[in-house]
Amino acid sequence: MKSVISQAFIAYARDRFRLDWYDIHGASHWSRVRHNGLLLAEHYDVDTTVIQWFAFIHDLERRNDWEDPGHGKRAARLAGEINNDFMGLSKSQLSTLQAACIGHSTGKVEADPTVMVCWDADRLDLGRVGIYPNARYLCTRTAANESFIEAAYQRSTERTYRAEEDGAEYDIRDTDPDFNWSDY
């Protein structure tokens, strides 16, 4: 599926993001969340545009990688601020995206189907921090399937490195086979 994420947004996100672009809440994570979400969307009647924007916005307002309980609300607020400039979502889509951002780290498992797919897409990427996703904390039947969890876990723990002056750096281009980072 063609991405709804523009080069202009990637430049904006890169400038705005306070954390390491290549670390656990950065671009590689966003790319895998997008991939997970689109795989889940194949099984449900959900809004793939909202899912893609969720993937790239839900952690954009983080202030640190560990305890930051307000980051989802800040991401939701940011979505409202940049909707006209980057996303072009309807009021309903924006409301759904904001609900997904606000609730993504609360542990809830019941919501609008699009929101649940967003949450699952994020939770399925826990392998990047050494956690195997628990089906009990996933919202959809597809995400809770052991083979789906295992495939997502494998994606989240694979590391592709490229040489840089400062040492090895995660290569975000290989995190989502359907998202072409070379365009950005």
Let me know if residue 183 belongs to a domain. Answer: no
Q: Distances in Å between the alpha carbon of 89 and those of 52, 98, 102?
A: 12, 11, 17
Let me know if residue 46 belongs to a domain. Answer: yes
Q: Is the pTM of this model over 0.85?
A: yes
Tally of domains within the chain = 1
The 10s digit of each residue's pLDDT in 149-177 is 999 999 999 865 443 433 434 345 445 55
Domain extent at residue 118? 7-178
The 10s digit of each residue's pLDDT in 70-124 is 999 999 999 999 999 999 999 999 999 999 999 998 889 999 999 999 999 999 9
Residue 154 maps to which CATH number? 1.10.3210.10
Q: Distances in Å between the alpha carbon of 33 and those of 91, 125, 152, 156, 163?
A: 23, 7, 9, 9, 25
